[in-house]
Amino acid sequence: MSHYEAPIREPLVLGDKSYHDITEDIAKPIEGAANKNWYIAFYISLVAMLWGFGCIFYTVGTGIGVWGLNKNIGWAWDITNFVWWVGIGHAGTLISAVLLLFRQKWRMAINRSAEAMTIFAVFQAGLFPIIHMGRPWNAYWVLPIPNQFGSLWVNFNSPLLWDVFAISTYLSVSLVFWWTGLLPDFAMIRDRAVKPFQKKIYSLLSFGWSGRAKDWQRFEEVSLVLAGLATPLVLSVHTIVSMDFATSINPGWHSTIFPPYFVAGAIFSGFAMVQTLLGIMRKVTNLEDYITRMHIEYMNIVIILTGGIVAVAYATEFFIAWYTGSPYENYTYLSVGAATGPYAWAFWSLITFNIITPQLLWFKKIRRSFIWTFIISIAINIGMWFERFDIIAIVLSKGHLPSTWWRFEPTFVDVGIFIGTIGFFFVLFLLYARTFPVIAQAEVKTILKSSGEFYKKRSEQGIPTKPAINLAGSEGTSDKNNKE
Amino acid sequence: MYQFSGKLKTFSIALILLGALGIAFSFYTAPKSIEDAKEIMASQTSHDGGHAISNEEVKKDIHTTEVKGDSISHGEMENHAEEVHQEATKEVHAAADVHGENHDDEHAEHLYHQLKNKPWSALYVSLFFFLGISLLVLAFYASQRVAQSAWSVVLFRVMEAITANLVPTSIIMLLVILSASVLHINHMFPWMADGVFDPSSPNYDPIIDGKSWWMNTPGWTIRSIVYLAIWNGYRWFIRRNSIKEDTANDGLKTYKLNYNVSVGFIFLFMITESMMSWDWIMGLDPHWFSTLFGWYVLSGLLVSAITVIAFVTIYLRSKGALPGVNDSHIHDLAKFMFGFSIFWTYLWFSQFMLIWYADIPEETTYFVMRFNEYKLPFLAMVVMNFAFPILLLLNSDYKSIPWFIVIGGVVILGGHYIDVFIMVMPATVGSQWFFGIAEISALLFFLGIFIYTVFSAFAKANPIPKGNPFLKESEYFHYYNIEHRGEGSGDHH
């Protein structure tokens, strides 16, 4: 089997790297000490997190009335943040699972961090379904457990219950998928460790990985099977989240396009968050040779594609809302009422940040620019928050009966909890970046000789770096030549 | 170079002639006037059971449908016709009135339109199916160029050849569009009927009138022509320039131009595909709407398109015309068939479940009608399009065995034909559906055109796209766990 790669493809690993260089580069942030900037960032995040926890305790202790919700708008920032965080998490699984199925080698430098982002984002998302309950101490009642109430069970018809299954399955499968991939990398850190404590820790984390041929063969099979399972999972999780709205009869919520459109939006916002994080990480951890300009460009292309799908969905929503002939659709989400009503600012933020700004990425100069990418990715993160807010709050603020029309004003507790989850997310991510191998070294090493800059140049110049491919007779079937 | 064999050519022409004959026959036997319809109705009541009669009752009362729908779809009409009649009469008094008077003129006129629509609808279903497949092969091809995917490069000429079928199907579509809109010789689109927009007319429909900004004949005709022009324009360009790529040797200039044009096409395709599905399919039920509809249509056609690519590839490879194609390429196509079958099911279920769950009357009628009147095809479709492929194509080894893919593919294509059938027929012929001479002839006719255009197009160009920078990667493509069996042993030389 050959490893021929078309010369037209850009290299994925820059510079004259050997296998050892990869190990060194990736192990460095773990083995070294944190610098001042890391501590500053960590403390800011920690303070935000603690503040958020304070707001959560205040809510649970005092009652949900400390939020800005009212009797017509029973969901606002809580579920907005929930959907936003779940959506962010989806890019991680997309990068590790879907791009694996599509054999995209460029995913290898970014999948580890994207999956970490998934897991930490799902943690944040998972908080909201519990803390937005009026009686969170009864949250375990959502589980179908035999009990002393004559085995009183849950009703399986509610999408909120499907959420419980979707999110918990998603978190567990993502964790297993991520951890499996980490085994060879933890083993690498373990084998390099000089301090006994560090050695002990990474020995525990790496589950005794010794890298035998049989282990690798099974490792690959498992990765592929998990990718095959995670792909429908990632689609179904955000689908189920979308069904919280789409199964209802509210105009603006009841729309059959929600399942795929939410998924596309999730990938869109998730990739934006990956861009935000990796844009910084590649610099501070000196991994610019692995997370290259080309990786950034490819992610931007995914953003244009999913952003385009989302834009088509908006247009469809607009069109069908009018096409239904239903007067109720006219003052709800993405229709005339939304664009001119009291939430017009939220609506136009959505259009500006989600639809207009990403169009800049059509220009090659912009999508290959780190600074532009960073700015646009922040814009998309904001825009996608507004998308969820608009879907939820605008629809609820104007229901079927005019006597129920009301507005939503967030309180400092709503805002505080959201800030708290951002803080919590970064606390986890910063700790991760100092203790975990942030790039899957084992995977990157598999593409070094086919896609590394040094090796690509050598093979273009005809200097053999590996057993030569027999190019003679390539007119015929490829397999005869490939059999080794 | 591939030689389009005389045998196959004769076969395709025979199919076209046979199909055309059958289509002509179905138009000839369709009723010419309301009196004809009455006659047919009378003969139906005598030997075809309560088919025609029950139809009208279904329209009047859903309750009745539940009683009769069952027996209708089971095809036990002939034996149980009388029984069903009595049962229905007893069960629903409202229906009993209609029952007694069901030979009145209003009913006859309604039936007349449905019967008159039958040959048109049969033609339309097959036409849309073949046009849609050719279009989606084109879109898949464009996506392969844009993704710079290497594995599929050796299949480029196969895909290009299939898109040749877009030309005749587009021309026929244009004729159907013009005969519906300008000449008014069919009644498939209810909103095109006389007086729908006229408040003083008995036919006036305020709901449709509210949509007249979108549903008007000139706008609809122009839009339809624009879609066809965009798709055919890209096809014409990319086919020409792809062949140019073979000998261009201009430092990838042609290749990059093709890349950019394909990006533009995908952009336009995303928009025109949705609009096309609203205009050509959703408009058949002008009171019904679903935001997902455009993508749902897309997913069904996409999986059919991949299946057709696999079929043509397997056939041509067995003739030795595709030297670069190995079992790994087949395996990848089968994976797409598998994956997109599940994707179709996902969209089908999303649309169905959300409408079922919320149960808003305006939307639910769509599925009530289909479930009651088309129960067997409706349920069979889900089995054929989901259960069958997922069981058959899950195993990695099976995905590179040609006869396995052919079996799976036939079921997938059959299932998606039924899918289109169920999208169109309930709106145009209602309970008068039948899979008979008209439907089979239309299928044969378009199959003949497909074989003729595709294989003559394939014979016209070098089967290997020599100028593509990923060609060598494609020829060396080998998926890691695929055992290449039987290759080089007569399959190709």
Tokens representing residue A415 in the block: 């805002």
Residue B277 has pLDDT above 90, yes or no: yes
Look at residue B39 and tell me if it is in a domain: no
Confidence at residue A458, expressed as pLDDT on a 0 to 100 scale: 83
**Pick from A432, A354, A423: nearest CA to A390:** A354
The answer to whether A194 faces chain B, any CB pair under 8 Å, is no
pLDDT tens track for B215-238: 999 999 999 999 999 999 999 999
Contacts of A316 in chain B (CB under 8 A): 274, 291, 294
- For the stretch A228-256, pLDDT in tens is 999 999 999 999 999 999 999 988 899 99
Burial class (CB in 10 A: 0-12, 13-18, 19+), B216: middle
Tokens 């201009």: give the residue: B250
In the predicted structure, residue B68 carries a pLDDT above the cut 70 = no
Is A249 in Cβ contact with B358 (below 8 Å)? yes
Residue B92 CA, distance from chain mean position: 37
The angle that helices A441-451 and A453-460 make with each other, rounded to 10 degrees, is 20
pLDDT (tens digit per residue) in A415-437: 999 999 999 999 999 999 999 99
Residue B194: count of CB within 10 angstroms of its CB: 9
Question: Across residues A137-150, what is the average pLDDT?
Answer: 93
More confidently predicted of A355 and A480: A355
Closest CA to B284 of B182, B418, B192: B192
A479 contacts chain B (CB < 8 A): yes
DSSP code per residue over B334-364: HHHHHHHHHHHHHHHHHHHHHHHHH--HHHH
- Find the mean pLDDT for residues B299-325: 94
CB spacing of A260 vs B210 below 8 angstroms: no
**Contact flag B476-A469 (C-beta cutoff 8 Å):** yes
Distance CA B444, CA B14 (A): 9
Contact B289 A324 (CB under 8 A): yes
Of the residues A240, A477, A480, the best mutation for testing chain B's interface (the one with the most B CB atoms within 10 Å of its CB) is: A477
Domains and CATH numbers, chain A: 19-146+154-461 (1.20.1630.10)
Minimum-distance CB partner of B326 among A2, A324, A477: A477
Query: Is the CB of residue A255 less than 8 Å away from at least one CB of chain B?
Result: yes
Contact B431, B329 (CB under 8 A): no
Give the nearest partner residue to A254 out of B346, B360, B487, using CB atoms: B360
From A24's Cα to the closest Cα of chain B, the distance in A is 30
Nearest CA in chain A to B278: A320
Q: State whether residue A155 is helix, strand or coil.
A: coil
Query: What's the mean pLDDT in A104-128?
Result: 94
What pLDDT shows up at residue B83? 45
Q: How big is the A-B interface in CB pairs under 8 Å? A: 117
Q: Cβ of B475 and A2 within 8 Å?
A: no
Cβ contacts (< 8 Å) between A247 and chain B: which residues? 354, 357-358
Please check the confidence at residue A484 and state whether its pLDDT lies above 70. Answer: no
Q: Which of residues 220-249 of B touch A (CB under 8 A)?
A: none
Question: Which residues of chain A lie closer than 8 angstroms to B399, CB-CB?
Answer: none
Burial class (CB in 10 A: 0-12, 13-18, 19+), A403: exposed
H/E run at residue A372: helix A370-389
The one-letter code for the residue type at A78 is D
The chain B residue lying nearest A244, using CA atoms, is B354
> Which of B211, B214, B291 faces A256 most closely, judged by CB atoms?
B291
Three-class SS state of A452: strand
Cβ B488–A477 below 8 Å, yes or no?
A: yes
Q: Do B324 and A478 make contact, defined as CB atoms within 8 angstroms?
A: yes
The nearest CA of chain A is from the CA of B86 a distance in Å of: 38
Instruction: Work out the end-to-end distance of chain B between its first and last CA atoms, rounded to an integer number of angstroms.
Output: 14
The rounded distance, in Å, linking the Cα atoms of A388 and A370 is 27
On the question of pLDDT at B471 being above 70, the answer is yes
Question: One-letter amino acid identity for A215?
Answer: D
Distance CA B455, CA B334 (A): 22
pLDDT tens digit sequence for B119-150: 899 999 999 999 999 999 999 999 999 999 99
d(CA A440, CA A108): 7
Residues of A in contact with B289 (CB under 8 A): 320, 323-324
Contact list, B295 vs chain A (CB under 8 Å): 257, 260
Which chain A residues touch B274 with a CB distance below 8 Å?
A: 312, 316
pLDDT of residue B57: 42
Query: Is residue B358 within 8 angstroms of chain A, CB to CB?
Result: yes
A148 C-beta neighbours (distance < 10 Å), count: 6
| Amino acid in position B168 | P
| pLDDT above 90: residue B476 | no
Give the predicted TM-score (pTM) of the model. 0.90
pLDDT over 90, % of chain A: 76
The domain of B268 spans 6-31+115-470
pLDDT surpasses 90 at B39: no
Predicted confidence band of residue B484 (pLDDT cuts 50, 70, 90):
confident
Asked if pLDDT for residue A474 goes beyond 80, the answer is no
Statement: residue B266 has pLDDT above 90 = yes
Query: Does B394 touch chain A if contact means CB atoms closer than 8 Å?
Result: no
Q: Is the pLDDT of residue B59 over 90?
A: no
A480 has pLDDT over 70: no
- Reduce the DSSP state of residue B148 to 3 states and report it: coil
Q: Does A235 touch chain B (CB under 8 A)?
A: yes
Rounded average pLDDT over A130-143: 94
Confidence bin at B263 (pLDDT 50/70/90)? very high
Contacts of B252 in chain A (CB under 8 A): 8
Q: Do B475 and A316 lie within an 8 Å CB cutoff?
A: no
pLDDT score, position A8? 87
Element (H, E) at A307: helix A293-323
Answer yes or no: do B487 and A320 touch at CB < 8 A: no
- The string of pLDDT tens digits covering residues A33-57 is 889 999 999 999 999 999 999 999 9
Among the partner residues A236, A249, A312, nearest to B274 by beta-carbon distance: A312
Both tokens assigned to A128: 């909201």
Q: Between the CA of residue B45 and those of A457, B54, B77, what are the distances in Å?
A: 81, 10, 11
Above pLDDT 70, what percent of chain B?
85
Query: Using the beta-carbon criterion (under 8 Å), do A247 and B323 form an inter-chain contact?
Result: no
Q: Looking at the domain assignment, is residue B484 inside a domain?
A: no
Q: Report d(CA B203, CA B212) in Å as an integer.
A: 15
A24 to chain B, any CB pair closer than 8 A? The answer is no
pLDDT attached to residue B53: 43
| B469 in A contact zone (CB under 8 Å) | yes
Q: Is residue B254 part of a domain?
A: yes
* A356-393 b/e (C-beta count within 10 Å ≥ 16 → b): ebbebbeeeebbebbebbbbbbbbbbbbbbbbbbbbbb
* CB-side neighbour CA atoms (13 Å) of A275: 33
Q: Cβ–Cβ of B484/A235 closer than 8 Å?
A: no
Structural domains in chain B (count): 1
Q: Which residues does chain B have within 8 Å of residue A220's beta carbon, measured at their own beta carbons? A: 480
pLDDT tens per residue, range A286-340: 999 999 999 999 999 999 999 999 999 999 998 998 898 888 887 776 666 788 8
pLDDT tops 80 at residue B344: yes
What is the predicted pLDDT for the residue at B183? 81
Q: In this model, does residue B196 exceed pLDDT 90?
A: no
B63: pLDDT confidence band, cut at 50, 70 and 90?
very low
B368 within some domain? yes
Contact assignment for A1 to B351 by CB distance below 8 Å: no
Record: contact A478-B475, CB cut-off 8 A: yes
B324 touches chain A (CB under 8 A): yes
Say what the pLDDT of residue B46 is.
54
Chain A residue with CA closest to B294: the answer is A316
* Cα angle A104, A110, A116; round to 5: 125
A362 touches chain B (CB under 8 A): no
Report the chain B residue with the minimal C-alpha distance to residue A248: B358
Please give the mean pLDDT across all residues of chain A: 90
The alpha carbon of residue B349 is apart from the nearest alpha carbon of chain A, in Å, by 10
Split at pLDDT 50, 70, 90, the class of B341 is: very high
